Amino acid sequence: MEKVTVRAASSLRGAVTVPGDKSISHRALILSSQARGESRISGLSQGEDVRDTARALRALGVPSGRWGDEPYTLSGMGPGGWKEPSDVLDFGNSGTGVRLMAGMLAAHPFFSVLSGDRYLRRRPMRRIVDPLKLMGASIEGRQKGNFLPLAVAGGELQGISCRTPVASAQIKSAIILAGLLGRGTTEVTEPAPSRDHTERMLRYLGVELEEEGRTVRLRGGQEWEAKDILVPGDPSSAAFLLAAALVIPGSEVTVRGVCVNGTRTGFFDILGEMGADISFAGRREVCGEPVADITARSCSLKGVSVPPSLVPRAIDEFPILAAIALFAEGETVISGAEELRVKESDRIRTMASELGRIGGRVKEREGGLVIAGGDRLTTASCGSHGDHRVAMALAVAGCAVRGGLTVEDTTCVKTSFPTFWQTLEGLGGKVDHGRSVPDGRDGQA
């Protein structure tokens, strides 16, 4: 099993870019595969999650260039144009890939089986299966359709009007994409706004859709022409490097070309509340998404109470928030974040247990965490639980703990940020592959 030891860095300095946004990359591939004509996608995430979606599309008959080509090219087959796959579609670790693709597969008149790795097979699917069934889809899966593998016998779908039980872009997008290939109008209303990349990309591609408050409405049967797409940097990957700069004295890190869509910037708002020295420059728009260069400088942080209303806008950043809250003065309280329990790991449990190993006082609550800042931290070996964001959050904590920290099982980092370790080293981080920290040494930085 791969492991990495991160030792206390003296400072992190420099300007870098991060991989293309994972959410936007999935949508770029999926929507281009059903466009009319050839698309060139630049800046596509090279993470395994996105590669698994690209593989699934190839298995559905979509002609495409070589993985790793820049730009990545693929020939659209028109709406509803995918072909029956001859084998199980394996989505690896990717909830976004499997849920969005399930929405579209439900509208294709053929049989498909969707599965994934042992972590993805534990994540709930009824949240998309139920609305897709209401639209007329025939889908079976383990435990009454709640777990992969899912078997989809696709066919003609009818638009619905529905309310999602939680703010989730994956649920919303699965329904919108199914509705796009179905008959009539589909309308989805969310309890709170989730990320809106599907809506933005559809509009960029010329698909008509209406947004009214927390409701999205679109007419099925629309067609769209292929367009070149440039994917901006992933704010959820940039978050690790910027957070590291905040807690390592003497640091200044700029991440260029980051997507700053307001449905994704909750973490930066929380950092602002914590007193972080963080600034945005060069605001521009790329393919319907706002982009900026973000700079973070080391400073002292204070604990905060994160209001539940902010949770959907920061949903992927709670592992890194929990890690840096250890270095803040006072308590950080996260609540209303039950959704964290059904991510790549149960992120409430995994962050409480792993930060506890280095001496962090972190209390687990049903819907969140209470993290005491300013403690003496010790060097230790921690586990990723197969979760890329847990692994990277622990690595950032390791940069600021004297004696460092070992992260066990780091292969998962490749799902979203395959160049994470090199980027961290390039900024001045001290990274040892395959070695462990000596146990039990006092590691307070």
Q: What values do phi and psi take at 93, rounded to 5? A: -100, 5
| Binding segment toward ligand S3P, per CB under 6 A, in 153-161, 167-175, 283-291, 371-379 | 167-175
| Binding segment toward ligand S3P, per CB under 6 A, in 137-145, 168-176, 302-310, 327-335 | 168-176
**Least CB distance to ligand S3P at residue 201 (A):** 11
CA of 111: how far to CAs of 11, 89, 157, 211, 262, in Å? 54, 11, 15, 33, 38
| Binding segment toward ligand S3P, per CB under 6 A, in 54-62, 163-171, 178-186, 213-221 | 163-171
CA distance 89 to 55: 8
**Least CB distance to ligand S3P at residue 249 (A):** 31
Q: What residue is closest to ligand S3P based on CB?
A: 23
Give, in degrees to the nearest 5, the angle at Cα 302 between 341 and 236: 45
Computed on alpha carbons and rounded to an integer, the radius of gyration of the chain in Å comes to 21
| Binding segment toward ligand S3P, per CB under 6 A, in 58-66, 107-115, 164-172, 279-287 | 164-172
Whether the bond into 71 is cis, omega within 30 of 0: yes
Task: Name beta bridge partners: 216.
Answer: 188, 211
Residues 237-296 that bind ligand S3P (CB under 6 A): none
Residue 277 or 339: which CB sits closer to ligand S3P? 339
356, with CB counted inside 10 A (0-12, 13-18, 19+), is: middle
Applying CB under 6 A, among 23, 45, 46, 263 the residue interacting with ligand S3P is 23
Task: Please identify which residue in the block is written with the tokens 């080293």.
Answer: 425
- DSSP class of residue 263? T
Applying CB under 6 A, among 169, 323, 324, 390 the residue interacting with ligand S3P is 169
**Least CB distance to ligand S3P at residue 23 (A):** 3
Residue 195 or 200: which CB sits closer to ligand S3P? 195
Residue 316 or 387: which CB sits closer to ligand S3P? 316
**Least CB distance to ligand S3P at residue 203 (A):** 16
- Site size with ligand S3P, rule: CB under 6 A: 11
**Least CB distance to ligand S3P at residue 82 (A):** 20
E strands along 342-433, which residues? 361-365, 368-372, 381-383, 405-408, 430-433
DSSP 178-233: HHHHSBSEEEEE-SS----HHHHHHHHTT--EEEETTEEEEETT---B---EEPPB
- DSSP class of residue 19? P
Binding of ligand S3P at residue 96 (CB under 6 A)?
yes
Residue 12 or 351: which CB sits closer to ligand S3P? 351
Is the sign of the CA dihedral 262, 268, 272, 277 positive or negative? negative
Active site residue 346: no
DSSP 150-174: EEEE----B--EEE-SS--HHHHHH
Closest to 386 in 3D by CA, of 94, 19, 128, 88: 94
Applying CB under 6 A, among 45, 46, 115, 168 the residue interacting with ligand S3P is 168
443: Cβ contacts below 8 Å, ≥ 6 apart? 8, 358, 377, 378, 379, 380, 401, 402, 403, 404, 405, 437
**Least CB distance to ligand S3P at residue 343 (A):** 6
Between 299 and 338, how does the x/- string for binding to ligand S3P read (CB under 6 A)? ----------------xx----------------------
Residue 7 or 22: which CB sits closer to ligand S3P? 22
| The residue type at 443 | G
Residue 25 or 406: which CB sits closer to ligand S3P? 25
Residue 23 or 115: which CB sits closer to ligand S3P? 23
Residues 184-223 that bind ligand S3P (CB under 6 A): 194-195
- DSSP class of residue 327? T
**Least CB distance to ligand S3P at residue 19 (A):** 14
Annotated active-site residue in 49, 52, 117, 316: 316
**Least CB distance to ligand S3P at residue 145 (A):** 17
Residue 166 or 372: which CB sits closer to ligand S3P? 166
Return the structure tokens found at 100.
């969005």
Residue 348 near residue 368 (C-beta atoms within 8 A): yes
Residue 147 or 327: which CB sits closer to ligand S3P? 147
**Least CB distance to ligand S3P at residue 344 (A):** 8
| CB-facing half-sphere around the CA of 174: CA atoms within 13 A | 28
Task: Please give the positions annotated as active site.
Answer: 316
Site residues for ligand S3P per CB under 6 A: 23, 96, 168-170, 173, 194-195, 315-316, 339
